[in-house]
Every structure is written in C-alpha cells, then in structure tokens.
A and B are shown apart, each in its own frame.
Chain A
Amino acid sequence: MDTKKQNRRRFLKEGAALAGMAVGAIGSASAQTPGAEASPVPYRDRRAYGRRSRFVNSVRTNDDDATHAAFGRSFNVYTPLQDSIGIITPSSLHWVSAHGYEPPDIDPQEHRLMIHGMVDRPLIFTLEELKRLPFVSRIYYLECQANRPEYKGETVQQSHGKTACSEWTGVPLSLLLQEAGVQSGAGWIVSEGDEAGKMTKSIPMAKVMEDVLVAYGQNGEPVRPENGYPLRLVVPGFEAIYSMKWLRRIKVVDRPYLGYKEISRYTRDDSRSSWFQFEMGPKSVITFPSGGQRLPSRGYYQITGLAWSGGGAIRRVEVSTDGGRTWKDAELQGPALRLAHTRFNMAWKWNGEQTVLLSRCTDELGQVQPSLAEFARFWGATSEQFLSRSARGAGHSNSIQPWGVNRDGSVYNAIS
C-alpha cells in the first residue's frame, strides 16, 4: 500500500544524498581519507540498517566457472576466511555457488512449499504457516564439495573459501513429513529449488529424519537471497549442494531420482563411480597466518584456524610449526559443535626462520585429516596428478594445507 510511496520517497532522498556526495567528492578530492568507501555515510542514514566501519574492507572474491561465465551466468564467490573471527560467518560474506543461475527475486507472500509423493496427506505451506510451526536454531557449516587445496590458491580464501558457518533457524523437515504422513516403501526425497533451472537433489530418508532443516533464518535475519531466500534446506555435514536453496518442493519417493547434479556432476568420478557422495571428511586450515599475509616481525603470534567434519564434532586439532616434524595439540576454543566450524588456537613464537605451518584434525568418529599424498594414494594417483586435476576424483579433498613462512615474514601456499 504505502510501500510505493515510501520507495519513491527513499529514492528521492538517496538521489539527493548521492548528488550531495558527488559534489562533496569533487570538493575534497585532495583530502581523501583511507578506507573502503571514500565518503562516509551521513550519521543519521546509518541508524536504520547498520554498516561496518569504512576501515573494514574484507570482501568475497569471484571465481567464475568458465561454463557459466561464457553465458554471463556465473555467481561464484568465496568467503574471506583469512579475516574470519570466531565460528560464525557474516551472512554478507557467505560463499555462493549459484550453478549458473541468477538468485531468484522471490516475493515471500507468493512463495509456497509443496510436500507430496509417497505421503498420505500432500500439503502446501505458505511461509507464514511454516513460521507458526515449532522451530529450532542450529549452528552448521555448509561446504562445497569442490572446496579443496590447490596450487592456484594463493590465499586461504581461494583455497578454502567455499565453506561458511551460520546459525540456521527453521522447521525440522521430519516434522513436516510427519504431518504429511510418509508411506511405507518411501526411502528418499527429491528436493527442488525455484531458480530458473529448478535444480533437484535426492536425499536419503534416514538423513532427512535425522537433522535436515527447512530454514528461513540465517544469523538472526531472514536467509539472504543468494543463500536461498525465503526458504532453503540445510542438510548438515553433506556436500552443500544437498542444501537446496529457494526450496519449493519436496517429493517423497522410493529411490534416488538422478537429476542433472547427480549423474553428470557431483558423481564420484573414478572406476568405482557411484551416484552419491554425502559427507565431507574432516578438514582444518590455519586462517592466520595464511597465504598472502605477512608477519611484521619475529616474536609472539596466536596461530588460529578452523576445523570441521561431516562426521560430527571435532575432537582434536594438532598444529605443526616445523613442516610436520613435530605436532602439538591446539586449543579448541569452543563451542566445538557437531557439524559446525570449530576454532582452534595455538601460541607461537616465530624465530624469524623459514618454516611451514600445518594443521590436522580428528573428528568424533576417529577420522583423521589425511596428507595430500595419502589422499591422492586413495584415488590411485600422485599428489602432482591430483593437484593438476589430471587425476580422477571429484572434489572431497580434505588434505592438510601447508602455509610456508619466508624470512621476510611473507606467507605462501606451500602445497606440493
């Protein structure tokens, strides 16, 4: 009703502000202050929706994939893990891989979730109805299965920036399926998104009943459009592609439905090809000091990083400051939650010499993060073949990431 008027008013106001800024910018061109934004936003315009300091300029970086970029439809951005603090990723810095589709601009009033297939009572929910149901909030990471150490990753953002951790709020999918009444013989669901290509993904029922969420909240606000607004699945611990964004439909079925992202991509691509890979293995990475950063002087530092595993909670992180000769247990900062990023810290006195920093984690199942050589051997390849992608193996690399430290304090990707 009034929103049109408001929009118009806001437009006029912002237009005026912009015009004012332009004049100001010309007037003070010689007196530029450092920071991400050249001109500070007027104080009163920051009250309605907060902004970070103009001196904080950590941003996501692009990594266009060639296939989609050729058609102007790549929306792949990485999380700046080198700047991460604690375990929660700000929603504005959450990595995105949109598989070649523009994040749809969905009106929440119009959006519906349909549940049907092998159920006694097919149901359609509005968003408002879903929000009336019992909800939970859970902290889970989401990691792309292609998030893997490589030569080309100069920074931890490039090598590991396709993982992020959020507090997700929503209705357990098990509750919705109980309401619909799952019939005997049903073993899987097919989830479907509402982007132009309507991607689908099949998920085994045991996982659905365990901990899958139909989420509308992320870090205390509605899920951001690129991350699935107004509704998405969160399938904790599985490759993030299972966590269907812009969720519009759940079909209960007896077998996996083998959609595009199950038979052409995201398959296990070796002689033992199989249709599905679910959990990601235990992984850890040092976020400081990491590639591209520089230690200003010898002396005391707090080595810090993140560890996570599709197997559950992180039990232990070991750090080596001498290229793997000796290992010491890092402190788990806590909370060390199941299927969430876990922060680890370790005190370190740098003596100014060349060295390599490593971390390796163990999860609650006893799974240990492998070295690159161990990981490659599993795929019947050498590290070299694996890194150059001439070896088979679709993602899922959870090998140890080495960061080299030069005498001048510069830090580089020491993978080899």
Chain B
Amino acid sequence: MRFLNLLAPVLTLASCVVVLAQSPTYGLGRTPSEQEILAWDIAVGPEGKELPAGSGTAKEGEALYARKCAACHGPTGTEGKAPRLVGRQTRTVGSYWPFATSIWDYINRAMPIYQEGSLSADEVYALTAFLLFKNAIIQESDAMDAESLPKIQMPNRNGYQPPPVSEWKPGMPRPFEILP
C-alpha cells in the first residue's frame, strides 16, 4: 500500500522537525493523508466513482424538500424566486441536465444556500431522488445510491454533443468560428 511506503521516509526523518516534503524537484508541499483527500474530494464525475455510501428515496426526500428547499424553490419546485427544479418547458434539472450525478454533486456542495455543505449523504440521495421523481425520471420508491444514480438515463442525455475528449490544442481556432 502506498500509505505504508510513505511511512518509511517519515520514520527516517523523524528526528527532523520538517514535514515530509514530496515534490521531487523542489522538495516543497506535503503528502495529504487518505482521510484528508476523502474529506476534500467532493467532486462527483459522470461515472459516479466518488459517490459515498448511503441511499435515499423520493418519499424520504419529500419531507426534507418541504423543510429545506421549498422556501426558495416553491412547494412543487415550480414556484419561488430560485430556479425551477421541475418541468420540461424550461431548462431544469430534469429537462436539461445530461447526468444525474451532477444533481447530487451540486446539491451536496451548494444547497441549501446559506447552509452549503450541511446535508448528509443520505439526505442528498433522498433529495436527488425526489427531484428525479418529480421530473418523472424515476419511480417514487426507487432508491438512489452510488450504484443506481450513475445509471439513470437523463432525458437530455443525447441532446448534447458526444462527450468531448481532450480535443483542445494550443492555437486552435474556436469550434464555432465566424469569418465574414
């Protein structure tokens, strides 16, 4: 394990006060612990690799939503001063977003406003399930977890161009160049 490998130099340096320096050329910076990385790493990609343990259903989400979200987004997600969360007429989580993992990621890091980062993993799964259910993408009893969430087919998944690979090159003209 990498963790064990790291212990060796720590022990040999134990007499120095210096923290383990890892950057090979400059000897600056230190190696974060696995726990530190886990605690910081809240970015969830489309594959959902980083989704934590936990689960929730729309039923569970309903009460949470009423308590923590409805004041801004409206009782059914279509009223209120904050963006609509439900519906096909306008761009919403349900009609526009290509991956369900992004809903989890965004609620987890940024909602509710003023109490960002306060929700537990179970709560975020339940709220995500609730929004997916309200947008008629899953059933009310479907449990969302690290397994099921990345598999959800979002309605606009194919409304986008295929996933961009790293096609950007220095000096490349813009993809939608306009020459008079």
- Do A and B interact? yes
Interface residues of A (CB under 8 A from B): 67, 70-71, 73, 100, 114, 116, 121-125, 129, 132-133, 178-181, 187-188, 190, 192, 196-200, 204-207, 210-211, 248-249, 251, 253, 255-260, 263-264, 268, 272-279, 281, 310-312, 365-368, 370-371, 374-375, 378, 396
For A310, the chain B residues whose CB sits under 8 A away are 174
On whether the beta carbons of B46 and A67 are closer than 8 Å, the reply is no
For B42, the chain A residues whose CB sits under 8 A away are 198
On whether the beta carbons of A367 and B110 are closer than 8 Å, the reply is no
Counting chain A CB atoms within 10 Å of each CB, the highest count among B23, B30, B96, B102 belongs to B23
A127 to chain B, nearest CB (A): 12
On whether the beta carbons of B24 and A204 are closer than 8 Å, the reply is no
Residue of B nearest to A134 (CB): B26
Q: List 15 A-B contacts (CB under 8 A).
A: A121-B22, A121-B23, A121-B24, A132-B28, A190-B43, A196-B110, A204-B168, A210-B170, A248-B40, A257-B43, A263-B97, A277-B175, A277-B176, A278-B168, A311-B174
Selected contact of A123 from candidates B32, B106, B169, CB within 8 Å: B32
Q: A71-B72, A367-B179, A371-B180 are in contact. Are A273 and B82 (CB under 8 A)?
A: no
On whether the beta carbons of A188 and B81 are closer than 8 Å, the reply is no
Selected contact of B102 from candidates A71, A204, A211, A260, CB within 8 Å: A260
On whether the beta carbons of B178 and A370 are closer than 8 Å, the reply is yes
Query: With an 8 A cutoff between CB atoms, is B161 at the interface?
Result: yes
Ordered nearest first, which 4 A-B pairs have the shortest CB separation?
A187-B166, A179-B23, A123-B29, A197-B110
On whether the beta carbons of B24 and A263 are closer than 8 Å, the reply is no
On whether the beta carbons of B113 and A71 are closer than 8 Å, the reply is yes
Residue of A nearest to B110 (CB): A197
Residue of A nearest to B170 (CB): A210
Q: A114-B32, A272-B161 are in contact. Are A133 and B26 (CB under 8 A)?
A: yes
| Cα(A73)–Cα(B164), bound, Å | 33
Residue of A nearest to B98 (CB): A263
Query: With an 8 A cutoff between CB atoms, is B83 at the interface?
Result: yes
On whether the beta carbons of A255 and B46 are closer than 8 Å, the reply is yes
For B106, the chain A residues whose CB sits under 8 A away are 259-260
Interface residues of B (CB under 8 A from A): 22-26, 28-32, 36-37, 40-47, 72, 81-83, 91, 93, 96-99, 101-102, 105-106, 109-110, 113, 116-117, 159-161, 163-171, 173-180
For B98, the chain A residues whose CB sits under 8 A away are 258, 263, 275
On whether the beta carbons of A274 and B177 are closer than 8 Å, the reply is no
Q: A263-B96, A275-B160 are in contact. Are A257 and B28 (CB under 8 A)?
A: no
Selected contact of A206 from candidates B28, B32, B81, B166, CB within 8 Å: B166
Residue of B nearest to A211 (CB): B170
Selected contact of A207 from candidates B37, B83, B116, B168, CB within 8 Å: B168
Q: A67-B83, A204-B168 are in contact. Are A116 and B41 (CB under 8 A)?
A: yes
Residue of A nearest to B179 (CB): A368
Q: A133-B26, A368-B180 are in contact. Are A264 and B91 (CB under 8 A)?
A: yes
B166 to chain A, nearest CB (A): 4
On whether the beta carbons of B28 and A258 are closer than 8 Å, the reply is no
For A365, the chain B residues whose CB sits under 8 A away are 171, 173
Q: A204-B166, A251-B41, A273-B159 are in contact. Are A70 and B81 (CB under 8 A)?
A: yes
On whether the beta carbons of B178 and A122 are closer than 8 Å, the reply is no
On whether the beta carbons of B174 and A374 are closer than 8 Å, the reply is no
Counting chain B CB atoms within 10 Å of each CB, the highest count among A73, A258, A312 belongs to A258
On whether the beta carbons of B165 and A187 are closer than 8 Å, the reply is yes
Residue of B nearest to A378 (CB): B178
Q: A190-B43, A197-B116 are in contact. Are A263 and B102 (CB under 8 A)?
A: yes
Counting chain B CB atoms within 10 Å of each CB, the highest count among A204, A205, A248 belongs to A204
| Cα(A277)–Cα(B174), bound, Å | 8
Counting chain B CB atoms within 10 Å of each CB, the highest count among A205, A206, A263 belongs to A263
| Cα(A133)–Cα(B81), bound, Å | 46
| Cα(A311)–Cα(B175), bound, Å | 12
Residue of B nearest to A375 (CB): B178
Residue of A nearest to B173 (CB): A365
For B82, the chain A residues whose CB sits under 8 A away are 67, 70-71
For B31, the chain A residues whose CB sits under 8 A away are 121-124
A365 to chain B, nearest CB (A): 5
A319 to chain B, nearest CB (A): 17
